Amino acid sequence: MNLQKETSKTIIKLFNGVLYKNDHPKLWLELENAYASISDYLKPLGVEVIFDESEGYAYLQNLEMEEDFPVLLRKRTLSYKVSLLIVLLRKRLTQFDMQSDDSRAIISKEEIVEMFELFLGESFNEVKQVKEIEGTIKKVVDLGFLKKLKNSDNYEIKRVIKSFVDAQWMDEFDKRLVEYEVEK
């Protein structure tokens, strides 16, 4: 298959993470125009394009293949704190969508720290705890669920979080959270 230069760039961007319409309009347009050929190219590799036009994001996901088929995209195991922050952000996005017509959900670092501290409890070393939360925020940014806004301590909750954290995932996490609290 002979791919055009822009199509190749689009595929490479997808392999590197989530492609957002607003961040890469040229690549997004290429994905819209060449979606069928990109899908046909990736399918034999065991990968499919998840393409949400209404929310403005696309990413790659492994297809269900035979047991001995090699996996191209590795799944990551998330720490408890990263999982907790992702769930809290997903819940915040749901609240935001119910209360606002704006398409961008913005949250401050202070709000994230406050949300997070409710679940971590009292700390003897508040500075250390805030540093740990900042590290967790950075990991969530690296995963593509948050985007740091320039020249501020604010973040945008990326809508792709809805695709990864659905109601079932949140329900299972809530059950594990209750088990965790009981074990404490």
Its pTM stands at: 0.75
User: Taking the domains of the chain in order of start, what are their residue ranges?
Assistant: 5-62, 80-183
Query: What does the chain look like in DSSP terms, one character per residue?
Result: ----HHHHHHHHHHHHS-EETTT-HHHHHHHHHHHHHHHHHHGGGTEEEEEETTTTEEEEEEPP--TTSPPSSPP-PPPHHHHHHHHHHHHHHHHHHHH---S-EEEEHHHHHHHHHHHH---S-HHHHHHHHHHHHHHHHHHTSEEEPTTSSEEEEPTTHHHHS-HHHHHHHHHHHHHHHHH-
- Model pLDDT for residues 7-50, shown as the tens digit of each residue: 999 999 999 889 999 889 999 999 999 999 999 999 999 999 99
Q: What is the CATH superfamily name and number for domain 80-183?
A: MukE-like family, C-terminal domain (1.10.10.2260)
Where is average pLDDT lowest: 4-13, 125-134, 136-145?
125-134
- Model pLDDT for residues 93-131, shown as the tens digit of each residue: 988 988 887 878 999 999 998 888 877 766 677 788 888
